[in-house]
Amino acid sequence: MNTHDIVAAYVADEIAPLLVDWSISGTTPVGVTVDIGGTPADLARRGADGRRRYVIDNPFGAA
């Protein structure tokens, strides 16, 4: 199961820092249980086409 919840998105002109809680759980092909998640510290920039793209993607948000 994959989930994500937007915690905060602050938009300032072309830049948007994003905080999104995410988690992934399941079982690998060899039967190992996987349960991981995080609260990333990401940064997106708006392109000429109006779509936002990640500039910085730190999936676990830890320093």
Report pLDDT for 63. Answer: 54
Enter the tokens of residue 47.
Answer: 């392109």
Would you give per-residue pLDDT tens digits along the chain (63 residues)? 778 787 888 888 899 988 888 899 999 999 999 999 888 888 999 999 999 999 998 887 765
Distance CA 58, CA 61 (A): 5
* 62, two tokens: 């830890």
**38 vs 56: CA distance, rounded Å:** 15
Cβ contact 17:43 at 8 Å: yes
